[in-house]
């Protein structure tokens, strides 16, 4: 159910990292690692499956929104996710 704005002690701007702010130029990341980074966590942080599912719900739209600045790499192991990284001229 919606809540009135007055119910909150503090409101924050809805700011998201740009791809350049979030990702290291020489690295490629899975959607799971990006989800952790978006929350300020280590890319290898252990998470409960329910928590990880919520973070993935945030990461997928972020990837779509930032697609213009990203490149995609095929999975390194079958049945694993692909990788995303910063698009640079030398990568194309």
DSSP state of 83: E
Distance CA(27)–CA(13), nearest Å, equals 29
pLDDT in tens, 7-62: 999 998 988 899 999 999 999 999 999 999 999 999 999 999 999 999 999 999 99
Let me know: does 77 contact 49? Beta carbons within 8 Å: no
Within a domain: residue 1?
Answer: no
pLDDT in tens, 48-91: 999 999 999 999 999 999 999 999 999 998 999 999 999 998 88
What is the number of structural domains in the chain? 1
Q: List the domain range (segments joined by +) for residue 65.
A: 27-91
Within a domain: residue 10?
Answer: no
DSSP state of 69: G
Within a domain: residue 41?
Answer: yes
């Amino acid at each position: 159910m919606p809540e009135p704005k007055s119910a909150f002690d503090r409101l924050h701007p809805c700011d998201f990292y740009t791809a350049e702010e979030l990702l290291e130029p020489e690295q490629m990341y899975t959607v799971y690692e990006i989800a952790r980074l978006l929350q300020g966590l280590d890319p290898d942080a252990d998470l409960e499956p329910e928590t990880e599912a919520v973070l993935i719900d945030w990461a997928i739209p972020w990837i779509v929104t930032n697609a213009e600045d990203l490149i995609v790499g095929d999975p390194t192991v079958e049945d694993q996710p692909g990788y995303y990284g910063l698009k640079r001229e030398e990568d194309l």
